Amino acid sequence: MAHMISTASGRAEMFYVGEVPWHGLGTRVEGSATSEVAIQAAGLDWDVTTEPLYLADGRPVDRMACIRSDTKAILGTVSPRYCPVQNRDAFTFLDSLTMANELHYETAGSLGQGERVWMLARVPGELRVAGTDDVTKPYLLLTNCHDGTGALRCLFTGVRVVCNNTLMRATRNQSEGLHLRHTGSIHAQIE
């Protein structure tokens, strides 16, 4: 399972528009989609909560468990300062550009048990290497970690993200873009 696409209730948690991903998984959507349509089609309509952790003898630990609301899977352990950003909150701020017909959602999905999610929007135009037939489509990628291992990130890429490998390729060596840590003021930063 090199793609690492999560499944819940026997369904791959991914959506796509256009070309079928190499792994053949996900729900195909025709035409343009809002973030809400993409979230529903990709099966990302779940929340993340945090709950305190305790040792076997009942003593509290200075860590919290990130828990997925629908499957009750523990996605990771985080500090008490960690502030989860729900999938719908992370993705809806891109809607203002999409509704202006500037961006079109192309893929979205979840990896592992939901520890990492992404949404990919196609940016109009193309990038062409001068004097060649080498053309790259530009995308805006938003990715969010629910396990405490990474920030909410939004960046430009030429990679069509459809799985873990393509997500890693799109984010590798990317220091540019928006990086928001999951601490107290993240919701204000998103606003």
Q: What is the pLDDT of residue 59?
A: 96
Residue type, 120: L
CA–CA gap between residue 46 and residue 115 (Å, rounded)? 12
- Mean pLDDT, residues 137-159 taken together: 92
CA–CA gap between residue 43 and residue 2 (Å, rounded)? 20
Q: What is the pLDDT of residue 124?
A: 86
Q: Encode pLDDT of 173-182 as tens digits.
A: 777 788 788 8
Backbone angles phi, psi at 23, to 5 degrees: -85, -10
Q: Encode pLDDT of 81-137 as tens digits.
A: 999 999 998 888 777 666 666 788 999 999 999 999 999 999 888 888 778 888 888
Which of the four pLDDT bands, split at 50, 70 and 90, describes residue 191? low
> Could you give the 3-state DSSP secondary structure of residue 38?
helix
Q: Encode pLDDT of 24-82 as tens digits.
A: 999 999 987 888 899 999 999 999 999 999 999 999 999 999 999 999 999 999 999 99
pLDDT at 22 over 60: yes
> Could you give the 3-state DSSP secondary structure of residue 128?
strand
CB atoms within 10 A of CB 114: 25
CA–CA gap between residue 114 and residue 176 (Å, rounded)? 25
Instruction: Find how far residue 36's CA is from the centre of its chain.
Output: 13
Q: What is the pLDDT of residue 166?
A: 95
Extents of the domains making up the chain? 7-46+82-190, 48-78
CA–CA gap between residue 117 and residue 65 (Å, rounded)? 18
CA–CA gap between residue 177 and residue 155 (Å, rounded)? 4
| Minimum mean pLDDT range among 91-100, 137-146, 152-161 | 91-100
Q: What is the pLDDT of residue 48?
A: 97
Q: What is the pLDDT of residue 186?
A: 66
Q: By the 8 A CB rule, do 108 and 44 touch?
A: yes
Q: Which residues contact 73 (CB under 8 A, 6 or more apart)?
A: 67, 113, 114
